[in-house]
């Protein structure tokens, strides 16, 4: 019988704080090709909350442990494992069965991203999803060159913050659209160039702020009328890439922009990229190598709003549902 460890579990979907509970869970046996990880830090992301609510694109069989992004320390290895060592810090692989728990067993062959011991586990725990999403948005939609402009909405989101920092590294300029006043300092901290509040006249204000720069790429996390506001800011032949629907409304785009200015709208879902759509194991490894270097040298980071132990999971999930200015992180072994 394996050792009992604490884990978060949900047996039904609904209002996220109401459906999560702490349980004693027996740790799976470590097979010949497996490694056992102590989970150091795990992020609360919107897809995790949507899964708890029952609305995500891929739902687990219940009961299940939530969470899909975190970092762990290797505390045991199977007899046949040769490329993962005791004491190594690793990214918990995608679809490992949920990482809001103290310990997790994963196949060693799926451990592809490792970190040096001196890195900040909280920052490193968030490398799986949002940093590569920002990387995709800047590198796979439009061919950009140093000096080019990009416009994004929901700029104070986690992906938005990573996108500004990556754009600065690459030499791109960013117009960062937010939905309330008072975020100028946060945008500047993430090395964004322009902070501007959304509205029907966004296109005119963006042209004035950028001296009429031709903007090739717009990044939309909101949908609804905000999509059209981005289109109003784009140059002819520009592309809007949608990766979120914070408004809950369909993307609005005028046929005049589609027909006469050849403005295009397309979607992006990083989960599919992680599973191999438009990527290979080698190309994903190269992206993670790049992003890991930026995190370790301090050029890429996320704002942290709060950290919680497992015992406060309901408070953590509630905070995650209402967070506005930084990430909420679970520290399962704190």
- The DSSP annotation for 261-273 comes to S--EEEE--HHHH
Q: Half-sphere exposure (CA, 13 Å, Cβ side) for 75?
A: 14
Instruction: Show the DSSP H helices in the chain as ranges.
Output: 16-19, 46-53, 121-124, 130-139, 158-170, 184-189, 202-209, 225-233, 255-260, 270-274, 281-296, 313-322
**Preceding peptide of 63 cis, ω within 30°:** yes
Cα separation, 67 vs 9, whole angstroms: 10
Cα separation, 304 vs 164, whole angstroms: 16
Residue 246's pLDDT is what? 85
Cα–Cα distances (Å) from 167 to 107, 141, 161, 276, 307, in that order, read 35, 14, 10, 24, 28
Residue 1's pLDDT is what? 52
The CATH superfamily of 132-272 is NAD(P)-binding Rossmann-like Domain (3.40.50.720)
Residue 3's pLDDT is what? 79
Residue that is written with structure tokens 């909101």 in the block: 222
3-state SS, residue 24? strand
Q: What is the pLDDT along the chain (334 residues), one digit of tens a residue?
A: 567 999 999 999 999 999 999 999 998 899 999 999 999 999 998 889 999 999 887 899 999 999 989 999 999 999 999 999 999 999 998 878 899 999 999 999 999 899 988 889 999 999 999 999 999 999 999 999 999 999 999 999 999 999 999 999 999 999 999 999 999 999 999 999 999 999 999 999 999 999 999 999 999 999 999 999 999 999 999 999 999 888 889 999 999 999 999 999 999 988 888 888 888 889 999 999 999 999 999 999 999 999 999 999 999 999 999 877 789 999 999 8
- Pull the structure tokens for residue 14: 């609904």
Which residues, including other chains, have CB under 8 Å from residue 26's CB and lie 6 or more apart? 1, 2, 3, 4, 5
Residue 272's pLDDT is what? 86
> For the chain, which residues make up each domain, given as ranges?
4-126+302-331, 132-272
Residue 275's pLDDT is what? 83
Bridge pairing between strands 327-331 and 239-242? unpaired
CATH code matching the domain that covers 4-126+302-331, chosen among 3.30.300.30, 2.70.180.20, 3.90.180.10, 3.90.1150.10: 3.90.180.10
Residue 195's pLDDT is what? 98
Residue 123's pLDDT is what? 95
Residue 47's pLDDT is what? 85
Domains 4-126+302-331 and 132-272 share a fold: no
């Amino acid at each position: 019988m394996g050792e009992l460890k604490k884990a978060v579990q949900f047996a039904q979907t609904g209002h996220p704080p109401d459906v999560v509970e702490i349980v004693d869970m027996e740790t799976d046996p470590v097979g010949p090709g497996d490694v056992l990880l102590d989970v150091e830090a795990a992020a609360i992301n919107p897809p995790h909350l949507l899964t708890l609510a029952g609305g995500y694109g891929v739902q687990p069989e219940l009961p299940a442990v939530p969470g899909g992004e975190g970092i762990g320390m290797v505390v045991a290895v199977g007899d046949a494992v040769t490329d993962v060592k005791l004491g190594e810090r690793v990214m918990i692989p995608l679809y490992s069965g949920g990482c809001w728990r103290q310990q997790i067993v994963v196949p060693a062959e799926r451990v592809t991203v490792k970190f040096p011991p001196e890195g900040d586990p909280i920052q490193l725990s968030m490398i799986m999803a949002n940093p590569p999403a920002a990387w995709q948005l800047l590198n796979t939609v439009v061919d950009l060159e140093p000096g080019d402009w990009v416009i994004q909405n929901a700029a104070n989101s986690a992906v938005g913050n990573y996108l500004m920092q990556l754009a600065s590294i690459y030499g791109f300029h960013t117009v960062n659209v937010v939905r309330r006043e008072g975020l100028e300092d946060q945008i500047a901290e993430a090395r964004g160039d322009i902070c501007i509040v959304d509205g029907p006249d966004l296109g005119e204000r963006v042209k004035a702020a950028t001296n009429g720069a031709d903007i090739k790429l717009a990044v939309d996390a909101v949908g609804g009328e905000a999509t059209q506001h981005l289109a109003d800011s784009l140059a002819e032949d520009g592309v809007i890439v949608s990766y979120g629907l914070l408004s809950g409304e369909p993307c609005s785009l005028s046929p005049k922009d589609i027909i006469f200015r050849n403005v295009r709208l397309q979607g992006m879902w990083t989960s599919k990229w992680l599973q191999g759509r438009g990527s290979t194991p080698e190309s994903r490894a190269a992206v993670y190598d790049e992003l890991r270097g930026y995190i370790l040298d301090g050029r890429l980071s996320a704002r942290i709003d709060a950290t919680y132990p497992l015992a406060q999971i309901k408070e953590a999930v509630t905070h995650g549902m209402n967070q506005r200015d930084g990430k909420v992180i679970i520290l399962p072994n704190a």
